[in-house]
């Protein structure tokens, strides 16, 4: 198997952490690629050019982070990373975490555009969404633990974008979440996949 990634993609980070937590790295070749490059090797596998992309041993090309994580979890079902259908709270948390990281990613991409091309409406919308979700996470943070689950990994990957989104400044307003994040981020899988500064 081959997992295509970029070091700064929070989505690829989730898949990489999942592979590490499931003990699958000896079965997966990690292939660093460049996206938005017409000559990228990734395009030979996935016409969308998105990371993460997983080329499976049986010839399938999987994209979209959750699909990849579900597939990887099936390779080592003894460890449960993806929420089971019977666990409503974790399923809800996975969904909210996915919306959180999507909004943060849109916000970061918008701020990378030149100031004359940025949409203040998009920035305002995503900032409002992020703060609303952070309020929710702070309220329920006592239900978070240090177990690497897909929901926790997704939240940590989104919060890990703080160095690229100084406009958010979430730590002081959400101390319980910050404490959880700082402890969770010490896991070897999170340390090994830290984005470039």
pLDDT, tens digit, 9 for 90 and up, residues 94-137 = 999 999 999 999 999 999 999 999 999 999 999 999 999 999 99
Query: How many structural domains is the chain composed of?
Result: 2
0.85 exceeded by pTM: yes
Confidence (pLDDT) at 167:
86
* pLDDT score of 36: 85
Taking only the tens place, the pLDDT of each residue in 3-20 is 999 999 999 999 999 999
Side-chain-side CA neighbours of residue 172 (13 Å): 4
38 and 8 in one domain?
yes
Tell whether 120 and 30 lie within a shared domain: no
Does 129 map to a domain? yes
Whether residue 82 lies inside any domain: the answer is no
User: Between 164 and 40, whose confidence is greater?
Assistant: 40
One domain for residues 109 and 182: yes
Measured distance CA(2)–CA(72) in Å, rounded: 12
Model pLDDT, residue 168: 87
**83 in a domain, yes or no?**
no
21 shares its domain with 64: yes
d(CA 97, CA 129): 12
DSSP string across 12-81: HHHHHHHHHHTT-TTT-EEEE--SS-TT-GGGGT-TT--S-EEE-TTS-EEESHHHHHHHHHHHSTTS--
> Which CATH number covers residue 137?
1.20.1050.10
Per-residue burial over 3-20, b = 16 or more CB atoms within 10 Å of its CB, e = otherwise: bbbbebbbbbbbbbbbbb
Q: Given the DSSP bridges, would you call strands 53-55 and 61-63 parallel, antiparallel or unpaired?
A: antiparallel
Q: What is the mean pLDDT of the chain?
A: 94
**Tens digits of per-residue pLDDT, 47-90?**
999 999 999 999 999 999 999 999 999 999 999 999 988 889 99
Peptide bond connecting 52 to the previous residue in cis, omega within 30 degrees of 0? yes
Measured in whole angstroms, the distance separating CA 168 from the mean position of its chain's CA atoms is: 17
The 10s digit of each residue's pLDDT in 164-185 is: 888 888 999 999 999 999 999 9
Same domain, yes or no: 97 and 182: yes
Residues in CB range of 157: below 8 A, 6 or more apart: 10, 11, 13, 14, 17, 101
Question: What pLDDT, on the 0 to 100 scale, is given for residue 197?
Answer: 61
* Domain match, 178 and 148 both: yes
The closest alpha carbon to 96, from 122, 146, 126, 133, belongs to 133
103 in the same domain as 146: yes
Residue where a domain terminates, one of 75, 96, 121: 75
Nearest to 100 by CA among 154, 64, 146, 142: 154
Listed residue (5, 2, 1) closest to 157, CA to CA: 5
CATH classification at residue 49 = 3.40.30.10
Structural domain span for residue 67: 2-75
């Amino acid at each position: 198997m081959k997992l295509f990634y970029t070091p700064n993609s929070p989505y690829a980070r989730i898949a990489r952490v999942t592979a590490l937590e499931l003990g699958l790295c000896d079965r997966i070749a990690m292939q660093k690629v460049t996206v938005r490059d017409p000559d990228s090797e990734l395009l030979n596998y996935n016409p969308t050019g998105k990371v993460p992309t997983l080329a499976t041993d049986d010839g399938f090309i999987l994209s979209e982070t959750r699909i990849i994580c579900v597939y990887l979890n099936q390779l080592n079902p003894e460890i449960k990373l993806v929420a089971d259908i019977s666990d409503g709270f974790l399923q809800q948390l996975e969904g909210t975490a996915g919306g959180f990281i999507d909004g943060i990613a849109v916000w970061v991409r918008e701020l990378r555009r030149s100031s004359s091309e940025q949409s203040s409406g998009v920035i305002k919308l995503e900032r409002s969404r992020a703060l609303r979700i952070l309020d929710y996470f702070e309220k329920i943070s006592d239900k978070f633990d240090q177990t690497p689950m897909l929901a926790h990994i997704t939240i940590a990957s989104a919060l890990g974008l703080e160095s690229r989104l100084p406009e958010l400044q979430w730590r002081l307003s959400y101390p319980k979440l910050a404490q959880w994040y700082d402890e969770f981020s010490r896991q070897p899988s999170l340390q090994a996949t830290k984005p470039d500064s």
